[in-house]
């Protein structure tokens, strides 16, 4: 068994879609086919900021990672944001997540990013066990402001 990490390609649409649907279900996020179509279009558009890697084991896609650059004004530099990371439950424990994160890290090194950053759910204990081995947990707290909601 070997893990192959590569850029997402046009022929991956069906397998990628199944993985991305699984990712949304894992987090309890309602996601439509139209939403997956939009993200797929982003991934296939070389001018869009979102990029993706997939992981193959024995010719089957078993994981995905989506990433993009972000400006870091305080550091006067650029970082990379790992938006989505998902490994098929049947392939967990094979170090697929670690391989995908390493690929994003290498991409960041090639692009001159100062950091790769991501967030996860507080109760995502299995993933956090891996993340704690690979990266430094920050003290930052994340907020979401609904742009259509009323402000106080």
| Mean pLDDT estimate for the chain | 95
- Per-residue model confidence as pLDDT tens digits over 5-37: 999 999 999 999 999 999 999 999 999 999 999
Residue 151 binned pLDDT confidence (cut-offs 50, 70, 90): low
Instruction: Please check whether residue 138 is in contact with residue 119, taking contact to mean a CB–CB distance below 8 angstroms.
Output: no
- Per-residue model confidence as pLDDT tens digits over 29-72: 999 999 999 999 999 999 999 999 999 999 999 999 999 999 99
- Per-residue model confidence as pLDDT tens digits over 91-109: 999 999 999 999 999 999 9
Q: DSSP code of 59?
A: T
Return the higher-pLDDT residue of 141 and 150. 141
Q: Whole-prediction pTM value?
A: 0.93
Q: Which residues of 113-128 are buried (b: 16+ CB within 10 A; e: fewer)?
A: bebbbbeeeeeeeebe
Is the pLDDT at 152 greater than 70? The verdict is no
Is the pLDDT at 149 greater than 90? The verdict is no
In DSSP terms, 85 is beta-bridged to 65
Helix H or strand E segment including 55: strand 51-57
């Amino acid at each position: 068994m070997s893990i192959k990490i590569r850029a997402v390609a046009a022929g991956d649409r069906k397998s990628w879609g199944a993985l991305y649907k699984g990712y949304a279900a894992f987090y309890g996020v309602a996601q439509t086919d139209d939403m997956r179509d939009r993200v797929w279009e982003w991934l296939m558009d070389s001018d869009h900021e979102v990029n993706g890697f997939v992981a193959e084991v024995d010719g089957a896609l078993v994981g995905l990672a989506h990433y993009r650059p972000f400006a870091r004004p305080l550091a006067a530099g650029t970082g990379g944001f790992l938006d989505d990371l998902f490994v098929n439950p049947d392939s967990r424990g094979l170090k697929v997540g670690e391989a995908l994160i390493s690929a994003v890290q290498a991409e960041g090194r090639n692009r001159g990013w100062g950091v790769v950053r991501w967030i996860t759910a507080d109760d995502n204990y299995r993933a956090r066990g891996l993340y704690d081995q690979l990266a430094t947990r920050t003290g930052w707290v994340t907020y979401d402001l609904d742009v259509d909601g009323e402000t106080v």
